[in-house]
Structure formats: C-alpha cells, structure tokens
Structure 1
Amino acid sequence: MAPANPGLIILASSSPWRRQLMRQLQIKFEATSPDVDETAQPQETPIALARRLAITKAQSVAEMWPEAIVIGADQVADVNGIILGKPGTRENAKKQLRQQSGQSVLFHSGLCVCAPGFDEPLATVETVTTRFRELSDAQIERYVQAEDVTATAGSIKSEGLGITLVEAIESSDPSALVGLPLIALRRFLEQAGVDLP
C-alpha cells in the first residue's frame, strides 16, 4: 500500500456498521481492517479491554500511515462483569442471548484517534446500558435465524432486528451502541484539525 497523503482519515475497522456511522459525519475517509488479537488479558475488565483494543487498532494502522488521522474502535459486551465477545457461531450466539435474557447488559465502546499533531492518542470509552426482555428459546432461535450476529459483540444488532430484544437503552450517545461513539469522535476529530459541518 502507498503511504497516506496528509489529511487522510482512516477508520481502522472492518465493520460495515462503523463505516455507515462514519458516513453520517460527511467526511472523506478510507477503511482498513487491523490485524489485532481481541483476546482479553488475565484479570482485564470489560472497560479496559474495550479501551485497549480501540487504542491497539488505531496505533497498528497509524504505524503504517503516520501522516494519517486514524480512528480505532471496539466494543465489548459486559454481563455482570463477564465479557461477551463475538460469538463466532449461531450456537454460541444463542448461549449469549440466553445469558443476557432479563439482564441489564453494558456495551462498552472504546474509541481512539491517532493524529500527527497529537503527543499521545486520544481515547475514551462510552458505555450504553441495555435492558434485555425475558427471551424464550423460540424467540432467540427466530432472531438468530433471521439476523447474522456471529461477528457482533453480545450477539445483538440494535440497528437491525436486535432492537426487538430489549426493553430500554440508556446512553448519552446512541451511536455508541452500534460501536462508534460519534459525539466523542467529533470532539477528537476537531482537536485533530478536521473541519466538520
């Protein structure tokens, strides 16, 4: 790959949902998938994991494109302190959804921006509280058959059919539940010198 031009903005994510959210800001950007091990470290809290992964993803791409503004993000689902990652299979998705049934689940969305003018990367974690309905096995089965959630933290896509699984969502930034907190991102990009509408 060729080196980036000054002013290039790169989203360090393969998620189509994050790309969709980025388009809301009406800025030109490119996206690339960072190769990062998402395994939690021993004793790592869900919030610490979300923050570390966002920073690691941004920094790994920024090393390849040091003149670019790089955005890293990751999301971790947290059920009573237990980390729920991406299920990988439908069977694991069903198990995760049974675990979340009737529970308040925290979705921690880590965000990091690396930019040439920053001494250190800017990073934050936005947390969304999601209260799940009591879900029957039949409801879980229908949902998992209708929506591919194998690569989604906690097996829920609130931007799709997953919204039917919850009673309430509490957040200061609704975009954080999809995995890219746009309110915090706007602040970070402005600090990096990006003019937003």
Structure 2
Amino acid sequence: MDKLLKSISYIFHPLIMPLLGVIFYFSKSPRYIPIEVIQAKLISLFILTFMLPVLLYFLLKTLGKVKTINLQTTKERIYPLILNCIVILLVLQRIITPSQGLELYFFFVGILLSNMACFLLVIMKFKASIHMIAVSGVFMFFIALSIHFSININGTLALMAIIIGAVATSRLHLKAHTYKELIMGVFVGAIPQLTLVNYWL
C-alpha cells in the first residue's frame, strides 16, 4: 500500500496534468484539426511543460535552491513557481494562442493564475498542495468541455473524482500536506478555471 500511494503522487504529478488536459481536448473536440498540428503542439508542450521544468529542477538542485523534488518548504517553492509561470507565459505566447483555440488558451491562462496564486500563498508562508491544484484544475476544465461540446463524459469525470481522492490520500499518507493545504489546493486549482469559463463557454 505504501508503494502504491507513493506511485500515485508520481503518476499524477503536476507536470503531467496540463498535457493530459490538452490530449483530452484534442480527443473530444468536434473541430477538424490536422493530425500534424496536433502532434506538433503535443511535442512542443511536452518539451516546454515537462522536459524543461525537469531540467530546471536539476539546475536549481545543483545551485542549492531546492533539496528534493517534493519542495517540502515554502522557501524551496519560490524559484520553481516563478520559472513555471515563465514557462506557461511562453506556452501562451508561442504554442497556444487565442486564434488557435480559446478553450486551450484559457485553460493555460487558468494554470498561470493558479501558479501565481500558489506563489502568493508561498510568500505568505502557506504551502498549498500543487498536486491538488493541478488535478482539480484539469477536472474543472473537463467539466467545462463536456458542457461546451455537449458530450457525455460521466465515466471520465467519475474517474477524475477517484484520482483526486487518490492523490489527496497519497499526499496525506506521505505527510506532504495537511487537510487545509489540500483543500486550499483544490480551490486554487478549480476557481481560476471556473472563472475563466465565462470567456469561452
């Protein structure tokens, strides 16, 4: 059970969730999008939102700015969150623009706002769960897409609800967060996505 709960934190890592949201969007969108365009965007997003942050983490670790990948203290979170905000801004400038799809554009704007809110909480010495921010943000995006495209994805939403519960259980088991930090993470992840729905739904 210990190994299972640890693996959940890695399988549903915050770096993976934005790419998961984009893959889901392309799989459900009724619009015709050339496969070459989809592949190019997915590769670009994988490099920018996953590979680059991993490389930056190792750089920060070499410089002594972070100790572990879990970012256990608020001080350790400052530089990763700043760099992640810059990465998301690059995505919004170069890969996901409003003309190429408002849904994805505001999905990443929501991710940016969540990162900024998490950074402000860090400045106030509060460590909201980044895992819960990521998974709850994607969950809210899925709900909005199901309404927007008028599609039945109840099975996917039920699975996402289970995943949210599993991630929360994992973080508690690992003593990475308290209940308050998990609940705050859910709000920080979901509220920006819910608010931005007004601009594209």
TM range (shorter): 0.3 to 0.5
TM normalised by structure 2 equals: 0.34
Which has more strand, going by share of residues? 1
TM normalised by structure 1 equals: 0.35
Higher relative contact order (CA 8 A, sep 6+): 2
